[in-house]
A = this chain, B = another copy of it.
Amino acid sequence: MWRIAVCVATFDFSLIQDDLLLVEDRLRDVAHVDVPGLAGILEQLLQSGGKRLRPALVLLAARFHDYDRQQAVSVAAAVETLHTATLVHDDLIDNSLLRRGNPTLNSAYQSGIVVLVGDYLFGKSAELASQSKNIDLGELFARTVAVICSGELRSLLDGKRWTLTREEYRERIYAKTASLFATCCESGAIVGQATAEERMLLRAYGRYLGMAFQIADDILDFVGSEETLGKPVGSDLRQGTITLPAIIYIDRHRNDPIVRKAMANGDEGTKSELIERIRSSDAITEAYAEAHSFARQAKESLAGFPDLPCRQVMMALADFVVERKT
């Protein structure tokens, strides 16, 4: 059994439960395909019981206004399908065999199939977005695909390097994660026919939330346990991906022999030692401070909105994405 699993541990989305169930129906439709072998693959990818954070953002942001439910559900299913497509290709590119403890698609199938399953999901996500019957939504959605891919290409063409700056790191996590979070919230705003200013503010909420979410994710890669992570502690650094905790630590300990040795193409033992040092350093505290700062900015973006239940959930979510343990 391979599958893409839960991205957020537990958060109470009961407010939008009915809409989320409709999203599940739409995702089941994506997996209904008359190609032997493919339906099973898609079902496992899309019916993994994930917490559907990205669809939830669409649905929450729409709730500030009367909204067209079918349109919201189409876009919510589109963003989840797009997210799944990017995970499928990411795991192939990184040659990851596990995601959250479960075997990846590329651990079980030849790469050609994995490429095409991702492509198929890209196509279906664009189809779902276009079913919203709204030009702005279709264009925003397509633009986001290009942002995500060009961001990943920037990282890959630039190569893995120890000298990544904080600014470069922020650009990378924006493209990788926050751009889609922003698009989810902006899509909800479009569905709700929000004003231009509200749309901009909801987009900002999504962007800040995404930045906080990804920084927390990158911290958990150091401080989590192998059991909760579903992969070895410090996997990012072991694979040469430098994230905020490492940037902060390296910046402060340029002359530490372990840092120098790791930067000079260190062996596994050196990397393990460096991971241990980062894990127990105040680089973690500082990285968390940055995540909290983004979460705060996310909440501030909602300051002018009425205190509806959807706003309360979104405020709580901003804290949750930083404080979660898995």
Question: A residues near B, CB below 8 A?
Answer: 33, 35-38, 89, 92-94, 110-113, 115-120, 122-124, 126-127, 129-131, 133-135, 138-139, 141-146, 148-150, 152-154, 156-158
Tell me the complex Cα distance, A111–B111, Å. Answer: 10
Q: How many copies does the complex hold?
A: 2
Tell me the complex Cα distance, A122–B144, Å. Answer: 11
Nearest 8 interchain pairs by C-beta:
A123-B145, A126-B142, A123-B146, A93-B112, A120-B149, A127-B142, A130-B139, A37-B157
Give the secondary structure class of A's interface: helix
Q: List 7 A-B contacts (CB under 8 A).
A: A38-B150, A89-B116, A113-B153, A113-B156, A115-B115, A116-B149, A127-B139
- Cβ–Cβ contact A116 & B37, under 8 A: no
Tell me the complex Cα distance, A142–B142, Å. Answer: 11
Quick one: which of B117, B143, B153 contacts A116, CB cutoff 8 A?
B153
Tell me the complex Cα distance, A148–B244, Å. Answer: 40
- Cβ–Cβ contact A36 & B145, under 8 A: no
Quick one: which of B37, B110, B142, B150 contacts A129, CB cutoff 8 A?
B142
With a cutoff of 8 Å between Cβ atoms, the chain B residues found around residue A112 in the complex are 92-94, 156
